[in-house]
Amino acid sequence: MIVFYFTSTGNSLAVAKRIGGDLISIPQVIDGSDTHYKDEAIGVIFPVYSGAPPRMVRQFLDKAIFEADYLFAIGTYGNMPGACMYNLQKGAEKRGYRFDYLNSLLMVDNFLPVFEMDAQIAKLPEKKTEEMTARIVADIQNREHKGAKASLPVRAVTAMFAGMKTDKNAQGYIVNDQCTKCGICAKVCPAKNIDVTDRVNFSGHCEGCLACVHLCPQNAIHLKNEKSDKRWLHSEVSLHEIIAANNRYRD
């Protein structure tokens, strides 16, 4: 089984690790020319951004050719997935294939402009994240089939959200004087959007994933509109694993 994933704060990677198989980080293959993937089972796991997969995941799905007996996708989200998985199936159908199993999984919402991380962590039991993760893992082990439904109002609201750009260019991020120029923000960035010289420089192709903000060891990167200065990394995922997944500065 091959499981493709995209992650910034580890939620999606934690789920991928629970499911198992050969885990492949989408940022590591996005520039590759080999886009044909064949296995008995293939899965795609990603965070929901404004009711849709992240831009890089959409680019990956546009060019990937999957050959599998069982194809699944999981969208991790923090509050409202909208019609994300429904639209994902529609997109797949246009490309000539269908997902056999689609599901979304409620986890900590890492969107700092709206959510406070301590409150999100406290809500985990209420969100039933652990139970739902176990159920999804079992479903995939048993090769269950499940479609994705979305009512007309949900589809309409999701279409409105789709107009909101989450892939801001990071120019609004504030780097304070706690920064030690360690370069970790550049290594956790899936978009190769950060270069650390005598300062932290952001380019213009940000995915808006907030990995740099959440994972700076000095907590030196801030948003003007963040709800608090608390940050999030999933407890089953290490900083080292996020770097291995997202670092695109290879020698």
Ligand X SMILES: Cc1cc2nc3c(=O)[nH]c(=O)nc-3n(C[C@H](O)[C@H](O)[C@H](O)COP(=O)(O)O)c2cc1C
**Minimum separation from the CB atom of position 196 to ligand SF4 (A):** 5
Examine residue 226 and tell whether it contacts ligand SF4 (CB under 6 A).
no
**Cα–Cα distance measured from residue 24 to residue 4, given in angstroms and rounded to the nearest whole number:** 5
Give the 3-state secondary structure of residue 201.
strand
Nearer to ligand X, 84 or 220 (CB): 84
203-222 positions binding ligand SF4, by CB under 6 A: 206-212, 216, 218, 220-221
**Cα–Cα distance measured from residue 166 to residue 186, given in angstroms and rounded to the nearest whole number:** 19
Q: What burial class does residue 117 get, using C-beta atoms within 10 Å of its C-beta: 0-12 exposed, 13-18 middle, 19+ buried?
A: buried
Q: Which member of 58, 123, 155, 181 binds ligand SF4 (CB under 6 A)?
A: 181
Q: What is the DSSP letter of 69?
A: E
Examine residue 9 and tell whether it contacts ligand X (CB under 6 A).
yes
Count of residues in contact with ligand X, rule CB under 6 A: 26
Q: Which member of 56, 78, 173, 206 binds ligand X (CB under 6 A)?
A: 78
Q: What burial class does residue 184 get, using C-beta atoms within 10 Å of its C-beta: 0-12 exposed, 13-18 middle, 19+ buried?
A: buried
Examine residue 12 and tell whether it contacts ligand X (CB under 6 A).
yes
166's contact among ligand SF4, ligand X, none, with CB below 5 to 8 A by partner kind, is ligand X
| Residues contacting 251, CB < 8 A, separation 6+ | none
Amino acid at 22: D
Examine residue 92 and tell whether it contacts ligand X (CB under 6 A).
no
Q: Which helix (H) or strand (E) holds 55?
A: helix 55-63
Q: Which member of 137, 154, 179, 239 binds ligand SF4 (CB under 6 A)?
A: 179
**Cα–Cα distance measured from residue 16 to residue 88, given in angstroms and rounded to the nearest whole number:** 18
**Cα–Cα distance measured from residue 21 to residue 33, given in angstroms and rounded to the nearest whole number:** 22
**Minimum separation from the CB atom of position 206 to ligand X (A):** 10
Examine residue 89 and tell whether it contacts ligand X (CB under 6 A).
no
120 backbone dihedrals φ, ψ, rounded to 5°: -65, -45
19-58 positions binding ligand X, by CB under 6 A: 47-51
**Cα–Cα distance measured from residue 173 to residue 207, given in angstroms and rounded to the nearest whole number:** 13
- Residues 143-172, one symbol each (x = binds ligand SF4 by CB under 6 A, - = not), give ---------------------------x--
Q: What burial class does residue 26 get, using C-beta atoms within 10 Å of its C-beta: 0-12 exposed, 13-18 middle, 19+ buried?
A: buried
26's contact among ligand X, ligand SF4, none, with CB below 5 to 8 A by partner kind, is none
Chain residues in the site for ligand X (CB under 6 A): 7-12, 47-51, 76-81, 107-111, 166, 208-210
Chain residues in the site for ligand SF4 (CB under 6 A): 170, 175, 179-185, 188-191, 193-194, 196, 200, 202, 206-212, 216, 218, 220-221
